[in-house]
Amino acid sequence: MKVIPAYRHRRLSTMREHLRNSFVVLPGLAIVASAALAVAAWWADDLLSRLFREASLEPLLTDLAVLTRPASAMVNTVSSAMLTFVGVVFSISLVALQMAANSFSQRVLLLYVRSRITKATLSIFLGTFVYSMLISLEFADYQEGSELTTVPFFGSLTAILLVFASLFLFIIYVDSTISLLRLSEVVDVISRDTLKTMRYLSRTSRGGELAPGLPEPEHEPLVLTHDGKSGALQDVDIVRLVRYARRHGVLIRLIPRPGDFITTGTPIARVTGGDFRPHLLAKCLSVGADRSLYQDVAFGLRQLADIACKALSPGVNDPTTAVQVIDRLQELLGHLCHAPFEQTAFSDKKGEIRLLTRHSTWTSLVDLAFTEIRSYGADSPQVTRRLSAALTDLAGIVPDDRRDPLHRHLDQLRADVAAAVPNPADARFALEPDRQGIG
């Protein structure tokens, strides 16, 4: 068992992950920022006009007024058209993504929600609309030839820059959306996110020390049950939970893993060493309708397996897609093959163990990656040949104590192919390891 100081967890990581899953925060901030920008531009124009008059530079002020005169029509056009443009663009995009979700998996929509380009594009569109709407009030107040009027120079220049920024981000957004409609890109994004989670968890545990197993408690532990909304356990605030455990002088053993579904009455922790209030534990657990990849590596494998199963369904019948998924599953399991899967213990600043968490086992991850694909693709030589190569390659690099699940899947693959392919020659061909399936 590895003991890790709880402070190694990044305190803001959980909040940042929740913000990435929100489609409201960044556009909302953009609206507020655009309103502040409009006020700042109005103030800058007023200051510039007063400075020019005090310096007796009225001719130059008149020239600026001539330059900014065409911007009035542009700002009015942008303010009336931008919101319509936003609605049309995102409606078409959602239809396209729904088609992709039907072809790959419903979980593809999570990639769209988490996309920084998508949020930035929506934010700049809404910000341009709000800014142009507010700055048009400055143009309405502008009276050409008046000695007291403000020339909207900075307001015009900023509006033009926002329009060009919107067009530039729109091009990037279209390219990003098209990429999310390509299977290879979707699989690559899921794999990269899963690898990021693996690296984050390994960085978090770096420097941990192996410790002997904890002794059994002298008294019966207090079992805490869930009393909140039902859903998947998305993540655990490690730092906060260890701090609560230190204050109460207890050791907390979490029962569910990230990704487990919990509902009212589900046991969620065993507490030893004293009393602990259930509502403190509830503050440290995030429960939602969907699983999150933040602390749940298995969810990345689950998404990839779902895409492969969808491709192998009779209505789709796309074994090449399943082969691409197997490529990534082999990559991920290759990174996980040397990772520890025991319970992880988190200690407080004094070095006392305060929290024990559970993880997916190596056997469960191998089963998650290959069981359904092997079962659904047994009659496809392309899939079975790639599976045979993946399992053989992994068996050659994993430690000796982790080879049994891979050998078991190889044996089951032979049995499945024998049952699905009556011809012995075809069965032998289907079991030959091939890293490309069939060329």
Q: What is the DSSP letter of 106?
A: T
324: nearest Cα among 181, 182, 134, 216: 182
Cβ–Cβ < 8 Å for 230, 289: no
Beta strands in 259-417 (DSSP E): 261-262, 267-272, 285-288, 344-347, 353-357
| CATH fold group of domain 213-288 | Aldehyde Oxidoreductase; domain 3 (3.90.1170)
What CA–CA distance (Å, rounded) separates 109 from 101? Answer: 7
pLDDT at 182: 82
What CA–CA distance (Å, rounded) separates 307 from 310? Answer: 5
Q: pLDDT tens digits, residue range 397-433?
A: 999 989 999 999 999 999 999 999 989 999 999 999 9
Instruction: Using alpha carbons, list the distances in angstroms from residue 342 to 358, 367, 371.
Output: 7, 18, 23
The tokens of 17 are what? Answer: 């992950």
Domain regions of the chain by residue span = 14-181, 190-205+296-431, 213-288
pLDDT at 365: 93
The tokens of 8 are what? Answer: 């190694």
On average, the pLDDT of the chain sits at: 81
Confidence of residue 208 (pLDDT cuts 50, 70, 90): very low
Position with higher pLDDT, 242 vs 73: 242
Position with higher pLDDT, 345 vs 17: 345
pLDDT at 415: 94
pLDDT at 67: 55
Cβ–Cβ < 8 Å for 431, 388: yes
Most confident listed range (19-23, 169-173, 348-352, 429-433): 429-433
Cα angle at 43 between 41 and 47, to 5 degrees? 115
Q: pTM for this one? A: 0.80
Residue with tokens 């100081």: 5
What CA–CA distance (Å, rounded) separates 438 from 79? Answer: 56
Sheet strand arrangement including 209-210:
209-210, 2-5, 344-347, 353-357, 251-254, 267-272, 222-225
Confidence of residue 99 (pLDDT cuts 50, 70, 90): confident
The tokens of 117 are what? Answer: 């380009």
Q: Across residues 244-273, what is the average pLDDT?
A: 90
Cβ–Cβ < 8 Å for 299, 292: yes
pLDDT at 155: 76
295: nearest Cα among 304, 306, 286: 286
pLDDT at 226 over 80: yes
Cα angle at 210 between 204 and 215, to 5 degrees? 115
Cβ atoms within 10 A of the Cβ of 270, count? 17
Single-letter residue type at 139: F
